[in-house]
Structures are given as structure tokens and as C-alpha cells.
Structure 1
Amino acid sequence: MRRSHIVAVLSLTLSAALPVHAQDAAAGEQIFRKCTSCHQAGAGARNSAGPILTDVVGRAAGSVSGYRYGKSMLAAGEAGLIWNAENIFNYLFNPTEFLRAYLDDPKAKAKMNFSLKAEQDRHDVIAYLSTFQVAKAPPENGFCVTNQSELTHVFAVDAGDEGRKVEELGPGGILCTAASDAPLNGFVSVFESAEHDEGCSRLITAGNIEGMIKYSDFDRCEWTSHAG
């Protein structure tokens, strides 16, 4: 979408801001019970057989303090693996095969031997884990956009008369509107770089965080939404 055309987006219905994949955090909470023998998330969470999953979406792999990771996971983190929604989705299908593909190492091995084969189960678990993004809460009556891809892009948040902010975000980065006395609705946008005027935009309502999972020109980006 051209920057000169972005204002026209505001005339569209906010129903267009639905995520690409339907996600059910409540269903994800039920599915996550299968994971609680090894993982914890939320207030008071501690490392167990697996690392804490609070704030996992957008986190660098192998980065939780105090947890003893396997060699392959540490190598993936050093190679730049970020736990965006897409990578979590693929990892949950087959953890060891994911690491072998990411590292291009047939001997790589994940400590986690559990998997979720059903696509909807994986989407729902990601939605549930996204509710524990304590470090990424939107400002009062505002909204945010996060870079959940593995590349750096230019992001913008636009709240109409309340102003527009533009910033280059690396993987896991976040950009938010300012706090406001009244709820702000607007849109978030992403461009491949500062030199590009084609990109993607998405309508958003106050109190929400919009994550860009995978960039593609001409409004073909992949997004995932979760409440702040």
C-alpha cells in the first residue's frame, strides 16, 4: 500500500483487522495443560524441565536466564532464531526437525520431544502464550505493532489527529502510540525499508498489539493479533 493511500484505509470497516488465522486463547489454555509438566507461564513462573514461556513470543531462542539449554538450541539462538509466531508454529510440529532445518545440521536435536500436530492446536497455543507478553503491553488507550519476523523493517503507527510514529524495528521490536485520555483507533503499517513506498497496513483498535509475522509487498503480509 502506498503511503499516500494509507488514509483511505481508515474508511474501511474494522472487521478487516481480523487475524489471518482464527486463534482461540481459551482453547489454547486447555491445550497448554499438556505442556505444564515441563513449562510454566505467567505470574510466579519458574524454569522447570523447560524454560519459562512468559513473554516467549518475540524472544530470542536460548535466552532465558538460569535455564540450561541444549547445544542445538543455543546454536540456533546464536544464529539469530527469534520465537515469532511462525517459528513457534513450525517448531511445535516437530522440534528436532525444525532445529535441523534451521541449523542445516542433521545431528541437531531438541530437548523437547513433545509435539502438536494439529494446526489449530498450534495456533490456539500461540494465542494463549501471547497473553503473557508482559513486556509488550500497549499504552493506555493506545495500540502497538511488533516485528515478529526475522528481518528488520520500517514500521508505523498512525492514530489520525493524535499523530504518526515511524521507526525501523529489528526482530522482536515494538512501536506504540502515545498514551491517550480517550481510546485511539487507527492503523499500523510496515515497509520493507525506508526506500520503499509499497507495503502493508492493518486496521487496529485501542488496547491491541498487532504482530507482523512475515513481510510481503502489496498488502500480502501475514499478521497475528492479540489483546494487550
Structure 2
Amino acid sequence: MTRTRLLLVRHAESESNVLRKLDTRPPGATLTDNGIAQARRLAQGLALTEDDIILSSIATRAQQTAMPLFAALGREPRAVEGIHEIQAGDLENRDDHEAHRIYATTYSKWLHGDDMPRIPGGENGYDLMERYLPVIDTVHADYLDAARRIIIVSHGAAIRAIAARLTGADPVFALRNRLENTGGVELLATGRGSWELARWGTLIEALGADATSIGDAMG
């Protein structure tokens, strides 16, 4: 039986990615010219059909990434609250090693099961789960029996945390294997509210061992 597939796709390259900034507060930076080209390739490579459901986060870079997908199907863009990047708070727009270290250390604790630590002035793991998981639950309930593909254009760190939580993926794997721009995670529905991991890494090439370590802190 064909099952509903959920693709959590990281946005294309943004200006802040190039500068290695912790850019998390919407609307955020726009895509680079390279990012715009990446978004076009994503739309072509996903082999979209009328059955596909597409959503994006409210961040500008995610909406720009999703635009070619919506255009390919002749649809109006659809952005939803709750699936934006993990909020960096006091670290917002910093590009220094110490800011990246604090962000990554806090994030690592969440993936290892402790949602309490908070990024200074920003979110903790509970905040992320409480805003992001309801979006997944809603699309799961709406399209569980439709055998459709749900494509959500979102953000790297948030995607890895959510995918690990939903599937029980090894936290060390999730930490080490960041997502390149327009890479992502594919999940398969196994029942109401449950998912299994189908792939992690590049989404528009042949299935393979494509998980990879990316230097970008937001990957």
C-alpha cells in the first residue's frame, strides 16, 4: 500500500548562510543568486504532481525556495506559522565562534532528550516542539488516507530536531549529519501520529547513503 510521504526540505542558500550568521528571526535574509538557482533545480528534481501538498515557513528564504514549486503547479504560495528556524535570541545575526558554540551545545542537549536548556533570549526544545509538531499533526491528519506527498520547506536545525523526535533517529547521527541547502529528510507515515525515516540528505538524487556533514551552523 502506498503511504503518505513527508518531505521536510531545507531552504536554498541565503545571504546569511554565506556570511555564517545565525539568522533565525523571520522574515530574515533573502536567497543568493545561487540559492534562487537551487530552488529552481529543486522544483525540477522533485517531479511534482497535482497530488503534492506544499507548505513553507514564513521566513523569506523558505518562501522564495518554495515559489518555483508552487509555480510549477500553478498554485498560490502558502506559508504557515510554526515551522520557522529555532530562534537564536541574543545570538541573532552573530557569526562568531562563541555564538555558534552556544547554539550548537544547547541544540545538542535537546537531541539527547533534554528540552529544558534555553538559547539565551531564544527558544528551548519545548518551544520548538510546541509550535512545530502541531503543523505536522495537522497535515498528517488531513492527508493520512490520501497517499500523498507533503512537502514542507523549512529550516535545517529545526528539521533535524523534528525528524529525530518523530522517528527516534540516533541523536549523534542527527547532530553530525547536517542538511545542505535544498537537502532534507523524508518520512513515511506508519499510522496516526507516527513516522519512520526513509532518507536523510539529498532529496532529488537516487536513494543512497547521502547523509553528509555540512559546515553551515544552520544546516
- Tell me: higher relative CO, structure 1 or 2? Use CA pairs within 8 A at least 6 residues apart: 2
The structure that is helix-richer by fraction is 2
Higher strand share: 1
TM-score category of the 2 structures, normalised to the smaller one: under 0.3
Query: Of the two, which has the highest radius of gyration?
Result: 1
TM-score normalised by the chain length of structure 1: 0.25
Q: What TM-score, normalized by structure 2, do the two folds share?
A: 0.25
